[in-house]
Amino acid sequence: MTSKPRIGIFIIAYNAVNHLIKTISRIPKDVYDEVEEIFVIDDCSKDNSYYAALGYKHEYGIEKLTVHRNQKNHGYGGNQKIGYTYAIDRGLDVVALIHGDGQYAPEALPGLLEPFHSGSADMVFGSRMAVRGAALKGGMPLYKYVGNRILTTIQNKLSGLQLSEYHSGYRLYSTAALKSIPFESFTNDWHFDTQIILAMAERGMRIVERPIPTYYGDEICHVNGIPYAMHCILTSYRFYQNRRRSVITYPGPVDVPKLGRGAVSDNKPA
């Protein structure tokens, strides 16, 4: 990018009322001043995540913060589809995904954004495994650490990539790169994250890893580990097959809900 990119921060939220406001407030001031919009998309939470964010916006008069809620739950991948479509429609150049439960530190955003300023990345991946031993020191349970390492090793062998991990949810994308991949046709489930990495790799996109701190608190993990791992391996195996045949095959496009269609936003509380 030769000019200053238009940046949006996409905060994905589901039953995150205990952490969402703190997560928003931890965005560094220099990043807040730089970004064009911070948009929360609540995936039809059963708690008051949407109303908490809406109240925070109006109490402090945060114009850059917009708050939206899906009328029905679209799943982890489905909510990302809605957010990325929104970012593209808004004409943003870069979209940074942050989880509303605070597991991924907003304080790391300056370092993660730097490759976009230098024009050296299409995707930046915040890795907890980039620094040896840091994930365990940060409180990652041993069984999750071992599972992550095993699964990443298998996926690297199948994909031919050399990523330190595939399973961090801290990601930043160029919207131009997003427009080049059929993310609308991907799963609505958790292995959406693996699909999007491999789709970027298939198209020769520049994937940059940056280390991020690991934090585990009282947030609730909604991932069912065994099915998730199997889906990740299967997706990576299909990538391996396509790589050998030099063929790119994905399911046909599906209808992706947009904000304003099956969603409510700032001034339209349900």
pLDDT digits (tens, 9 = 90+) for 31-48: 999 999 999 999 999 999
CATH number for the domain including 73?
A: 3.90.550.10
pLDDT at position 192? 97
Establish if 68 belongs to a structural domain: yes
- State phi, psi for 13 to the nearest 5 degrees: -135, 135
Which residues face 12 on adjacent strands? Answer: 41, 99
The pLDDT of residue 19 is above 50: yes
The answer to whether 70 touches 41, Cβ cutoff 8 Å, is yes
pLDDT band at 3 (very low <50, low <70, confident <90, very high): confident
pLDDT in tens, 96-133: 999 999 999 999 999 999 999 999 999 999 999 999 99
pLDDT in tens, 60-97: 999 999 999 999 999 999 999 999 999 999 999 999 99
Alpha-carbon distances, residue 115 vs 25, 122, 146, 168, 171 (angstroms): 24, 9, 30, 18, 12
The Cα 255–Cα 116 span in angstroms is 30
pLDDT digits 0-9 by tens, 197-231: 999 999 999 999 999 999 887 655 667 678 999 99
pLDDT (0 to 100) of residue 260: 58
End-to-end CA distance of the chain: 40
pLDDT at position 218: 63
Please give the average per-residue pLDDT across 127-156, as a whole number.
Answer: 95
CA distance 186 to 195: 7
Q: Report if residue 70 sits inside a domain.
A: yes
Range of the domain at 116: 7-257
Instruction: Please report, rounded to a whole number, the percentage of residues in the chain having pLDDT higher than 70.
Output: 89
Domain count, the chain: 1
Pairwise CA distance, residues 189 & 103, whole Å: 19
pLDDT at 129: 96
- Give the pLDDT of residue 256: 60
Query: Is residue 209 domain-resident?
Result: yes
> 188-208 burial, b if ≥16 CB within 10 A, otherwise e?
bbbbbbbbbbbbbbbeebebb
270 falls within a domain:
no
Measuring CA to CA, which residue among 180, 185, 199 is closest to residue 256? Answer: 185
Distance CA 219, CA 75 (A): 17
d(CA 169, CA 219): 14
Does residue 174 fall inside a structural domain?
Answer: yes
Q: Is there a domain that residue 22 lies in?
A: yes
Q: What pTM was computed for the model?
A: 0.90
In a domain, 230, yes or no: yes
Cα torsion 102, 103, 109, 115: sign: negative
Domain assignment present for 249: yes
Higher pLDDT residue, 260 or 204?
204
Chain centre distance of CA 230: 20
Query: Rounded CA gap, 15 and 13, in Å?
Result: 7
20-29 residue pLDDT tens: 999 999 999 9
